[in-house]
Amino acid sequence: MLKTVRIIMLAAMCTILSAAAFNPPPAAAKTQADKYEYPFQDPGLPVQKRVSDLLSRLTLEEKVSLMHQYQPAIPRLGIPAFKTGTEALHGVAWLGEATVFPQAVGLAHTWDRSLIKQIGSAVGDEVRGFHHLDPAANGVNVWAPVVDLLRDPRWGRNEEGYSEDPFLTGEIATAYASGLRGDHPFYLKTVPTLKHFLGYNNETDRGFSSSSIDPRNMREYYLKPFETAISAKAAYSLMPAYNSVNDKPAILSPLLNSTVKRKWAGDDFFIVSDAFDPSGIVNDHKYYDSHEKAHAHAVKAGIDNFTDQGENPELTKNALTGALKQGLISEKDLDQALANTFSIRFRTGEFDPDELNPYSRLTDDVINSPKHQQLAKKAAEKAIVLLKNDRDLLPFNSRKHESIAVIGPFGNTLYEDWYSGTMPYRKTPLDGIADKIGKDRVSFAEGLEQCGFKSALTGKFVTAGRDGKQPLTAAADKLEKSAAFDAADWGESIFTLRAQANGLYVSLQDDGKLIADQKQPNGWTVKETFQFEQQPDGTFAIKNTA
């Protein structure tokens, strides 16, 4: 396997400054109030007056329904449906082919705020492009960037953040969010949401574990990157973490109101929960014994929008309705939460004529455009750390005729992370070298061990089906291709097994069966890694490490 030495080049940086006006767009001053059925539809009015008028026309039942992630349309008032949560960590994810930029940790390696802002702007354009295709399903509230500090290399989500340094993380997050937000003084291209507040760095037991943070580390380290991006008016939303901080669930943290909203954010800002986190107050943290109490506390703590149970709003609606009936919260509390949300919705331009909002003119032709492809290439080049070139191997001389051997399992592999977009094209190191000097001068070998497994019970070899649907079975009399596997050593005696029968990786299923059905090791919990444990009789047991 090829090994590299990574050298991180650091450079001085100064604080990004940005400004955002909260007045109506200048062109709106020419509008006539009598053209609109309701004052909240008039773009010539200040946002707060529009919000107040809209809220005054909602029934209590409608207000409760609008507290869920999937905010329904209110046809009688002409209010469209609104959904929070489009994934845009390093490109638009999960909606179809889109430009995929380097992972977040790679973007931070560039130390280039101007470039990162351009990338954020390109991603924001593509969010708007998908929104143009399906406004109800593809919302303009994006759950990015991640500003969790990478304080432990064992955390499985380190590629989602920028660095362990609060200054660098704050600067890069501000640049990326500024691009997502756009440069218009009033309208927002997208609504960036910072994740995950606060002290979130473990996946195991994340729903109820507690991070212990002393006051100095809290102020100087953990809060700092959030403060940087929010105070610069780069982000207009925030998502609490799953874990507790000093034994209080982060979703109930007093810092959400006292610090985030009152000290940093100002008026136009809302806080949205992570998926299933509201019900987790009861189910995981065991902090309350009823969802009514949990949701009431969350609203009082500053949660403006509940992400729970996917598209099904019933738990949220029932919990809030029960909390109202029990007097745990009042209609005024809901009004405040909805005011925070609608103050941002008005700035997305969804209630205004398209000619006023420059981002309404972005259509799906911006998705994976040649311009964005070139920007992704530039970002990848700048994200690469330096290699020591003692023997002047690089650059390859295309005029010479030596052959090049590319050896190692990563030479012709492009791995995707959880929040990667759907890649419209792929280039591996092998592809790049072949493009440079010609395919006829390049040879490739993965360098993997090929092996077979004979069952101690049946005496037959383990086989994998060709269709990727049948469980592994010990049924072959001979070690043939259908019974052969490529074993890749990932270190610490951990291996992946790829079936030669179909080229897919063996994965542990929920029912305990093993099936070769995965293109790559993947998923929230990786179920494609194994260890071989020697038994007293000399045989080996294959143990899944998920």
Q: Which uninterrupted H or E stretch holds 325?
A: helix 314-325
Rounded Cα distance, 106 and 222, in Å? 21
Radius of gyration of the chain (CA): 26
Rounded Cα distance, 268 and 263, in Å? 13
Among the listed residues 42, 148, 274, 304, the single catalytic one is 274
Residue 5: closest CA among 383, 389, 409, 379:
389
Long-range contacts of the stretch 48-56 (C-beta < 8 A, 24+): 48/267, 48/343, 50/346, 50/351, 51/339, 51/342, 51/343, 51/346, 52/339, 54/79, 54/342, 55/335, 55/338, 55/339, 55/342
User: What residues have CB less than 8 Å from 3, skipping those under 6 apart?
Assistant: none
Outline where 25-159 has alpha helix (H).
47-56, 60-65, 104-108, 113-133
Which residues of 167-321 form beta strands (DSSP E)? Answer: 191-197, 210-211, 237-240, 244-245, 248-249, 270-271
Q: Tell me the two tokens of residue 403.
A: 């052959």
Rounded Cα distance, 240 and 244, in Å? 10
Q: Tell me the two tokens of residue 404.
A: 């090049």
Phi, psi for residue 447 in degrees, rounded to 5: 75, 30
Active-site residue flag, 274: yes
User: What residues have CB less than 8 Å from 144, skipping those under 6 apart?
Assistant: 87, 88, 89, 123, 176, 177, 180, 192, 193, 195
Is residue 473 classed exposed, middle or buried when 0-12, 13-18 and 19+ CB atoms within 10 A define those classes? middle
Which residues of 139-188 form beta strands (DSSP E)? Answer: 141-142
Length of the chain: 546
Degrees (nearest 5) of the Cα angle 133, 139, 140?
Answer: 105
Q: For 384, how many CA atoms within 13 A lie in the half-sphere containing its CB?
A: 10
Is residue 429 classed exposed, middle or buried when 0-12, 13-18 and 19+ CB atoms within 10 A define those classes? middle
Give the sign of the dihedral formed by CA 85, CA 89, CA 94, CA 95: positive
Q: Name the region of 96 (left: φ>0; alpha: ψ -120 to 50; beta: rest).
A: left
Number of H helices, E strands in the chain: 14, 20
Rounded Cα distance, 246 and 462, in Å? 50
Which residues are the active-site residues? 274
